[in-house]
Chains A and B, each alone.
Chain A
């Protein structure tokens, strides 16, 4: 052990810094600098590349928050949409993910095959998902309409996505489908960490299935549940592909379903106004940080104590 320590600490050599140098350079160039310059651009009037970036203070933020043309017209809607999209998608992912984790934590022959099926939605490119689900939602020949009509839930063909007045939840269903397997994988690892003795003790004390879930599983899983939910909020708040691709069917629809990151992208790259796009992205990030802190308030408090 002593030798190990000596080797690990081995002096003030420059070797670790040499090993880290390429990574540090790459991170500074391709994430830290673009991030900081993105923040800077949100306070300037840069329109497109090659423009000079002049400092204009909070003008872009004011324009977006109080204006009523262009992206500003959609800002409040996109904000509501972001919250709605993230919370419903992550809530759905959590409920279904917890359920599947509990099922797949039980011991039965062939369990690994069912666990493997979970990896399919994780592995498939989101672009392909967006297209395949659009095909499943197809009003005339799609799978979903067919079964809904077969069982009498639907009279005629119905376009679920792409129309100017289409609802958001068909997209949320796709998000839940895509996201719940990862939630399951994370929750499973938490479930596997709970010792059997706890359950046995509870059983001796007469706790039934629901009682054991309520008084052992949930408290024991507190940390991993918080981490899993936070990560999913982070991912799905910033999610781009599904909403962007389904929005391809029409600009009006695209704007109606746009969340904040997508509105920012449209403003920056579709309408060539990088500064306003950056400002929208900044506000999106600040909102997200707020939600994350609120979500982790209990953990943050316990760290301080």
Chain B
């Protein structure tokens, strides 16, 4: 099926009439050549875009596996590589890197915050999807509004409040803040997903004698597990990557999260880029793995959130 979009502007109808006397074989050959040309152009352009996106990451990966004396070489080369795991060994065993401790902190804080966030937003998203109630519009508008308040301004009030609660310089403080900041995105995302589940399913269950709560628990929750997992993944990566709040609230080196720790580590290392890039690879790994794993969910979920 050829839509007219694929016909190149060069061959319009008048043109075709003019060369109507030429053999059809020749005509189809021109068409094929043009199609080929279009494909080649598209691949070149798309390839350029992909290369731009991937180059810094490839460069980071390459440096992290490179032998140190080759990193400090005026000759830059992508290939061949003097492959070594020395940088990783250095980072994982260097007491100044404190990577294990930071990893444990990040893992703990991000997982607990994600679970807390999902627990409150799943029920809120369900309420936003299934019920009409007083204040729904106001609540929805407010959810969007807090998205617009600059985090630096919230952070100042938050800092004073956390200090009063004695949660400054505590991982617990970070957990609570992280669980709260992702609320808007989670609710909109989950609401969009619940909207796509037909109400009839619950009605059927309720006619069969289920209560609203057990209909929610037995039918809607299992059905929406993929969406909840995708939202959870996104929240986890968001907490894992967060820098500003982690930098502000945590002061003692033992409690630093990974992104903060790597910046301090970089301050110590300064010119040794090998270990810094190995550290970077470790910090970036969950994000890359999770995102490539959930690629389709991510894009459609993001899109659903924004088309609202």
Contact = CB atoms under 8 A, between A and B. Distances in A.
Given A16-B136, A128-B284, A278-B153, 5 more contacts: A24-B139, A106-B42, A107-B6, A131-B263, A281-B150
A49 to B, nearest CB: 4
The bracket for how many chain B residues form the interface is: 35 or more
Interface stretch (A71-79, A83-91, A263-271): A263-271
The bracket for how many chain A residues form the interface is: 35 or more
Interface stretch (A58-66, A139-147, A163-171, A294-302): A139-147
A19 B57 CA distance: 42
Contacts of B291: 119, 122-123
Contacts of B59: 132, 135-136, 143
B133 A123 contact: no
Given A177-B56, A261-B150, A15 B124 contact: no
B150 A20 contact: no
A285 interface: yes
Interface string A106-117: 111001011111
Nearest to A145: B76
A35 interface: yes
Interface stretch (B21-29, B67-75, B81-89, B94-102): B67-75
Nearest to A115: B299
> Chain B interface secondary structure, helix, strand, loop or mixed?
helix
Nearest to B73: A141
A34 B199 contact: no
A203 B263 CA distance: 55
A208 interface: yes
Which 7 residue pairs are nearest across A and B when measured between Cβ atoms?
Answer: A34-B157, A30-B180, A38-B157, A125-B241, A49-B163, A117-B50, A19-B127
Nearest to B179: A26
A131 B181 CA distance: 25
Contacts of A103: 42, 45-46, 49
12 contacts: A4-B203, A15-B127, A20-B123, A35-B157, A38-B153, A38-B155, A123-B290, A141-B273, A209-B9, A248-B266, A264-B152, A274-B160
Given A31-B149, A136-B56, A114 B50 contact: yes
Given A16-B127, A19-B126, A124-B57, A240 B152 contact: yes
Contacts, number: 293
Contacts of A189: 303, 306-307
Contacts of A264: 152-153, 156
Contacts of A115: 299
A244 interface: yes
B150 A196 contact: no
Contacts of B12: 203, 206
Contacts of A225: none
A279 B121 CA distance: 32
A132 B306 contact: no
Interface of A: 3-4, 7-10, 13, 15-17, 19-20, 22-24, 26-27, 29-41, 46, 49-50, 100, 103-104, 106-108, 111, 113-129, 131-133, 135-136, 138, 140-141, 143, 146-147, 177, 181, 185-186, 189, 196, 199-200, 203, 206, 208-209, 227, 234, 237-238, 240-241, 244-245, 248, 261-262, 264-265, 268-269, 274, 277-278, 281-282, 284-285, 288
Contacts of A124: 57, 284, 287-288
B295 interface: yes
A3 B203 contact: yes
Contacts of B263: 127, 131, 245, 248
B306 A227 contact: yes
B4 A200 contact: yes
B163 A20 contact: no
B150 A288 contact: yes
B259 A117 contact: no
B160 A127 contact: no
Given A27-B146, A111-B46, A41 B157 contact: yes
Contact of B160 (A3, A46, A128): A46
B240 A7 contact: no
A20 B288 contact: no
Contact of B181 (A30, A138, A241, A278): A30
B92 interface: no
A120 B288 CA distance: 7
A197 to B, nearest CB: 10
